[in-house]
């Protein structure tokens, strides 16, 4: 069972973490995080598909390719994106500095950055951050690490879960940052997951890649896919279960737990979108296939007209249907049924007769479920999103440079 | 030369128009327009590609297929979309009522609606509107018609142009409404064009279809494709030029004039987007092909982060580059050059050194040109858009139902 738990990435055996102030953020808030496994860990990762990927994405992809890692360093306040060769050098230097400090090799260090694009890393502050964070590494350090990676998030995102595999207790924990520039495709933001499960790297990557498609890739705050997105899992095997190496019952137990954790985390990121006042769960039913179901869900999730309507608590189902109609997915208006909460608002090609007061009550909730039954196939999917408020415009219309 | 001109759809010979108050809009503003040609006119049209198309779209498509028309009736305040069989019956009845009033046949009447989705047409008011408008038909009635079709537009959109073909003066005029739910694909909003050119219907449709791709399909206010979009041209031949029937010099002259008119009108629609404080011209240079150039331009035009940055006069080129990177188009960050106004802000894979004060001056302008040189091909394209402001959220977050 996945639960909110500040233990986060230090919930699993053999992991320490720290979050410190390195002086990168102008606000003076914590901005540097370190997560370390006592022993070698299998590593899996998914990264942004943006052609304008940040330097740390390139560096970390190489580490994932190598198959194992022992540490994650992450800074907020500076994305190290669009920074050219200097950016690549800085990301590599960050890994090297952390490796030297921890007595490991640079190719065992995942590097992640989030913040403003186009600014180079302040390497003196990064160096200080690494030293301070290494000194602060603690088995209860996850909360500080979670706090150090957030930007415009309004709360830290930290989850844990546990399962029994081969009679052994296996722990999984995660921290994430989200908020703005959130639109899926592969990975969506920064999320670090640690587990003491004993699992083969290939299977770990298989699990993560499959799970991402129905969790982090199914959320959208604003349709913008970041240059820095990554989801990384470290699995150090300290739970002592027999190694998971194939698609057996052990793998299924691990997979389901990781999937549940990723779904919950994705939902938390969507719910805490910049300026969000509503958390929208958009269920697509009976689509022809998954791609179509996702298209309809994402089209609704990204429609500024739908998002502003929900912000205004306006049960404007016409905009929802309109967004479904231009999604590119197969749909037949006359067969489609739309519900807000448990109230049918559209069916048989036209607006349904509904209890206005009951519908107003649904629209006034913070969590709203939208059901779109396409009735032309048998595939379901769920997309999570939020509304578009004055606050989003304020946060992103502020002068940053 | 295209000019702003209230003569609009009555600029060409043999056209009359009217705009009246039929009581459809709660505000009591004009909401019913009628445009009539004295004689049979060749008709061409392009319509929304939204699978949830409004009833008037189906009715008008049939009229365009028939090849000729004599009248256009358009109401604002009610979209007659998602209204089922009742909506189809109402749209057909509207055409029949107008035909009876004008002494023509129903299949010569284009029907258009714009406004709230999911509400059926108040047919008694439509009937009254038809009578009142028919009585008010006038050679100077275009301004009233333009005023009757707008919704959240802040000004009427009316253009004219003229050319010489075969020694004869040929006139073209247009009115349009835009504002919200504006994202191209085929047609984008309501735009009615009249001309006294003598042109074969097939060539008229060919011209319009090609022109739409680089005018109305290249603008975006909010990425939402409406259920009701249409662009319709009536050509009644009263200029007396020899009939344009093939791809000759006469056709080219007409085509270029119509293209210039459509581009200017599309720009006006983008500039008057709901809540817009900025008009953005996004030039994509040296893309591999037109589809890629459009993808990059549209991705930038639709990015909420880019739009809010321009609203805040924040020269945040990182967001522009980020949007280009996730557009799906081929692009190489290191080869790409980004300019705001005439100032290079990004080149050689990193931020350029620029004069901050000069850039602030560019960002403070109402009209801002963004140039993205991809440097990997030889195809250019231009997309027009606007910013995302508090006012957009206000307009669309208001409770409409």
Lowest mean pLDDT among A249-253, B9-13, B147-151: B147-151
| B326:A400 CB<8 A | no
Residue B161's SS3 state is: strand
| B118:A317 CB<8 A | yes
* Alpha-carbon distances, residue B269 vs A141, B8, B79, B399 (angstroms): 54, 15, 19, 24
| B400:A314 CB<8 A | yes
Q: What is the DSSP string of B294-360?
A: HHHHHHHHH-HHHHHHHHTT---HHHHHHHHHTSSS---GGG-EEEETTEEEEETTEEPP--HHHHH
In a mutational test of the B interface, the residue from A80, A325, A392 whose CB has the highest number of chain B CBs within 10 Å is: A325
Q: Which of A223, A308, A394 sits opposite B397 (nearest CB)?
A: A308
pLDDT at B204 > cutoff 50: yes
With CA atoms as reference, the chain A residue closest to B356 would be: A401
Looking at the structure, tell me whether residues A67 and A200 fall in a common domain.
Answer: yes
pLDDT at B401 > cutoff 80: no
* Alpha-carbon distances, residue B393 vs A19, A125, A166, A398, B397 (angstroms): 37, 39, 54, 16, 5
What mean pLDDT do residues B123-130 have?
Answer: 97
State how far residue B38 is from chain A, nearest Cα, in angstroms: 37
Q: Nearest 5°: CA angle at A214, between A212 and A220?
A: 90
Binding residues of A: 151, 177, 188, 274, 396, 401
Alpha-carbon gap, residue A395 to A112, rounded angstroms: 23
Q: How many other β-carbons are positioned within 10 Å of the β-carbon of residue B26?
A: 9
Lowest mean pLDDT among A95-109, B258-272, B341-355: B258-272
Looking at the structure, tell me whether residues A32 and A162 fall in a common domain.
Answer: yes
Dig out the tokens for A371 from the structure.
């059901």
The overall longest dimension of chain B from CA atoms, in Å, is 69
**Is the Cα dihedral B113, B115, B120, B122 positive or negative?**
negative
Q: Which of B331, B350, B393 sits opposite A51 (nearest CB)?
A: B331
Residue-level pLDDT at B305: 86
| A396:B312 CB<8 A | yes
Residue-level pLDDT at B222: 63
Nearest to A94 by CA among A69, A60, A119, A68: A60
| A85:B227 CB<8 A | no
Alpha-carbon gap, residue A298 to A282, rounded angstroms: 9
State how far residue B213 is from chain A, nearest Cα, in angstroms: 17
Residue-level pLDDT at A295: 92
In a mutational test of the B interface, the residue from A393, A395, A398, A401 whose CB has the highest number of chain B CBs within 10 Å is: A393
| A322:B53 CB<8 A | no
Alpha-carbon gap, residue A315 to A299, rounded angstroms: 17
| B325:A224 CB<8 A | no
Chain A, chain B: beta-carbon pairs less than 8 Å apart: 222
State how far residue B359 is from chain A, nearest Cα, in angstroms: 12
Lowest mean pLDDT among A109-123, B89-103, B225-239, B293-307: B225-239
Looking at the structure, tell me whether residues B84 and B205 fall in a common domain.
Answer: yes
Alpha-carbon gap, residue B101 to A290, rounded angstroms: 51
| B399:A323 CB<8 A | no
pLDDT tier, B110 (very low <50, low <70, confident <90, very high otherwise): very high
Instruction: Look up tokens 């020899």; give the residue.
Output: B242
Looking at the structure, tell me whether residues B105 and B225 fall in a common domain.
Answer: yes
**Could you tell me if A45 lies within 8 Å of chain B, comparing CB atoms?**
no
Residue-level pLDDT at A179: 67
With CA atoms as reference, the chain A residue closest to B82 would be: A350
- CB < 8 Å to A86, chain B: 350
> Could you tell me the CATH number of the domain that includes residue B376?
3.10.20.340
**Could you tell me if B251 lies within 8 Å of chain A, comparing CB atoms?**
no
Contact partners, residue A169, CB within 8 Å, separation at least 6: A162, A163, A239
User: If contacts are CB pairs under 8 Å, which of residues 179-198 in chain A contact chain B?
Assistant: 180-181, 183, 185
Give chain B's mean pLDDT.
90
pLDDT at B297 > cutoff 70: yes
Burial class (CB in 10 A: 0-12, 13-18, 19+), A387: buried
Alpha-carbon gap, residue A382 to A174, rounded angstroms: 22
Q: Which of A86, A324, A393 sits opposite B308 (nearest CB)?
A: A393
* Domain of A100, in residue numbers: 3-271
- CB < 8 Å to B334, chain A: 84
| A52:B225 CB<8 A | no
Q: Which of A219, A237, A271 is the last residue of a domain?
A: A271
Burial class (CB in 10 A: 0-12, 13-18, 19+), B280: buried
With CA atoms as reference, the chain A residue closest to B319 would be: A117
In a mutational test of the B interface, the residue from A305, A327, A338, A386 whose CB has the highest number of chain B CBs within 10 Å is: A305
**Could you tell me if A315 lies within 8 Å of chain B, comparing CB atoms?**
yes
Alpha-carbon gap, residue A285 to A378, rounded angstroms: 7
Contact partners, residue B242, CB within 8 Å, separation at least 6: B166, B198, B250
Catalytic residue among B83, B114, B188, B195: B188
Nearest to B282 by CA among B216, B372, B352, B345: B372
Looking at the structure, tell me whether residues A151 and A203 fall in a common domain.
Answer: yes
Give backbone dihedrals phi and psi of B187, rounded to 5 degrees, phi first. -115, 170
Residue-level pLDDT at A124: 97
Looking at the structure, tell me whether residues A165 and A193 fall in a common domain.
Answer: yes
Nearest to B187 by CA among B148, B147, B233: B233
Using an 8 Å Cβ cutoff, are B80 and B87 in contact?
yes
Residue A113's SS3 state is: strand
Give backbone dihedrals phi and psi of B25, rounded to 5 degrees, phi first. -75, 135
Q: How many other β-carbons are positioned within 10 Å of the β-carbon of residue A27?
A: 9
Q: How do the residues of chain B divide into helix, strand and coil, expressed in percent and rounded to 5?
A: 35, 30, 35
Looking at the structure, tell me whether residues A288 and A324 fall in a common domain.
Answer: yes
Using an 8 Å Cβ cutoff, are B397 and A392 in contact?
no
Looking at the structure, tell me whether residues A294 and A217 fall in a common domain.
Answer: no
**Could you tell me if B217 lies within 8 Å of chain A, comparing CB atoms?**
no
Residue-level pLDDT at B188: 41
With CA atoms as reference, the chain A residue closest to B391 would be: A390
Catalytic residue among A48, A83, A94, A188: A188
State how far residue A316 is from chain B, nearest Cα, in angstroms: 7
Using an 8 Å Cβ cutoff, are B349 and B390 in contact?
no
The upper half-sphere exposure of residue B51, i.e. CA atoms within 13 Å in the direction of its Cβ, equals 19
- At B267-288, the pLDDT tens digits run 888 888 778 899 999 999 999 9
pLDDT tier, B220 (very low <50, low <70, confident <90, very high otherwise): confident
- Give kind and range of the element (H or E) at residue A363: helix A356-364
Residue A178's SS3 state is: coil
Burial class (CB in 10 A: 0-12, 13-18, 19+), B256: middle
In a mutational test of the A interface, the residue from B48, B55, B82 whose CB has the highest number of chain A CBs within 10 Å is: B82
The list of chain A residues with pLDDT below 50 reads 183-188, 400-401
- CB < 8 Å to A326, chain B: 49-52, 183, 185, 224-225
Looking at the structure, tell me whether residues A331 and A257 fall in a common domain.
Answer: no
**Is the Cα dihedral B259, B262, B265, B269 positive or negative?**
negative
Instruction: Look up tokens 């649904």; give the residue.
Output: A362
Q: Which of B254, B271, B288 is the last residue of a domain?
A: B271
State how far residue B393 is from chain A, nearest Cα, in angstroms: 6
Alpha-carbon gap, residue B129 to A48, rounded angstroms: 55
pLDDT at B117 > cutoff 90: no
The count of residues in chain B is 401
Helices B390-397 and A304-311 pack at an angle, to 10 degrees, of 70
Alpha-carbon gap, residue A260 to A5, rounded angstroms: 15
Residue-level pLDDT at B392: 80
Alpha-carbon gap, residue B326 to A51, rounded angstroms: 6
Looking at the structure, tell me whether residues B267 and B283 fall in a common domain.
Answer: no
User: If contacts are CB pairs under 8 Å, which of residues 350-369 in chain A contact chain B?
Assistant: 350-351
> What region does B185 belong to: left with phi over 0, alpha with psi -120 to 50, or beta?
left
Q: Which of B226, B227, B318 sits opposite A82 (nearest CB)?
A: B318
> How is residue B373 annotated by DSSP?
E
**Could you tell me if A117 lies within 8 Å of chain B, comparing CB atoms?**
yes
Rg (alpha carbons) of chain B, rounded to whole number? 22
- CB < 8 Å to B376, chain A: none
Residue B197's SS3 state is: coil
With CA atoms as reference, the chain A residue closest to B225 would be: A326
Alpha-carbon gap, residue B64 to A186, rounded angstroms: 44
**Could you tell me if A346 lies within 8 Å of chain B, comparing CB atoms?**
yes
- Give kind and range of the element (H or E) at residue A89: helix A84-102
- CB < 8 Å to A395, chain B: 308
Q: Which of A211, A245, A271 is the last residue of a domain?
A: A271
Binding residues of B for substrate: 151, 177, 188, 274, 396, 401
Dig out the tokens for B34 from the structure.
């009628």
With CA atoms as reference, the chain B residue closest to A221 would be: B304
List alpha helices for B154-289, DSSP H.
201-213, 249-271
Percent of chain B scored above 70 by pLDDT? 95
* Number of structural domains in chain B: 2
Q: What is the DSSP string of A305-332?
A: HHHHHHHTT---HHHHHHHHHTSSS---
> Could you tell me the CATH number of the domain that includes residue B202?
3.60.70.12
**Could you tell me if A12 lies within 8 Å of chain B, comparing CB atoms?**
no
Looking at the structure, tell me whether residues A80 and A224 fall in a common domain.
Answer: yes
Q: How many other β-carbons are positioned within 10 Å of the β-carbon of residue A116?
A: 17
| B396:A346 CB<8 A | no
Alpha-carbon gap, residue A118 to A181, rounded angstroms: 15
Paired sense of beta strands B109-114 and B68-76, if any: parallel
Looking at the structure, tell me whether residues A228 and A341 fall in a common domain.
Answer: no
| B390:A392 CB<8 A | no
**Could you tell me if A158 lies within 8 Å of chain B, comparing CB atoms?**
no
Is residue B188 part of the annotated active site? The answer reads yes
With CA atoms as reference, the chain A residue closest to B326 would be: A50
């Amino acid at each position: 069972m996945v639960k909110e738990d500040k233990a986060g990435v230090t919930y699993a055996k053999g992991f320490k973490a720290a979050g410190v102030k390195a002086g990168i953020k102008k606000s003076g808030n914590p901005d540097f995080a370190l997560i370390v496994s006592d022993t070698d860990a299998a590593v899996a990762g998914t990264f942004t598909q943006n052609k304008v990927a940040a330097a740390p994405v390139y560096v970390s992809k190489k580490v994932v390719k190598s198959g194992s890692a022992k540490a994650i360093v992450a800074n907020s306040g500076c994305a190290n994106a669009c920074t050219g060769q200097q950016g690549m050098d800085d990301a590599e230097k960050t890994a090297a500095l952390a490796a030297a400090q921890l007595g490991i090799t640079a190719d065992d260090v995942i590097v992640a950055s989030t913040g403003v694009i186009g600014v180079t890393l302040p390497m003196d502050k990064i160096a200080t951050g690494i030293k301070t964070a290494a000194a602060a590494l603690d088995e209860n350090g996850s909360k500080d690490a979670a706090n150090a990676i957030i930007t415009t998030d309004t709360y830290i995102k930290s989850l844990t879960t546990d399962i029994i595999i081969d009679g052994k207790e296996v722990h999984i924990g995660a921290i994430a940052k989200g908020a703005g520039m959130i639109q899926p495709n592969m990975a969506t933001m920064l999320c670090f997951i640690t587990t003491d499960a004993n699992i083969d790297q290939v299977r770990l990557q298989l699990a993560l890649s499959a799970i991402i498609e129905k969790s982090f890739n199914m959320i959208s705050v604003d349709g913008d896919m970041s240059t820095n997105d990554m989801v990384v899992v470290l699995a150090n095997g300290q739970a002592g279960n027999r190694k998971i190496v194939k698609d057996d019952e052990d793998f299924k137990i691990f997979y389901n737990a990781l999937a549940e954790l990723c779904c919950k985390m994705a939902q938390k990121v969507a719910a805490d979108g910049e300026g969000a006042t509503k958390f929208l769960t958009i269920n697509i039913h009976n689509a022809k296939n998954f791609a179509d179901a996702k298209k309809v869900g994402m089209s609704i999730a990204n429609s500024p007209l739908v998002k502003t309507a929900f912000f205004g608590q306006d049960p404007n189902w016409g905009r929802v249907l309109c967004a479904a109609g231009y999604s590119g997915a197969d749909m037949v208006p006359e067969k489609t049924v739309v519900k807000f909460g448990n109230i049918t608002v559209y069916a048989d090609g036209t607006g349904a007769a509904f209890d206005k007061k009951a519908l107003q009550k649904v629209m006034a909730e913070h969590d709203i479920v939208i059901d779109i039954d396409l009735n032309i196939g048998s595939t379901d999917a769920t997309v999570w999103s939020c509304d578009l408020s004055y606050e989003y415009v304020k946060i992103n219309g502020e002068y940053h440079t």
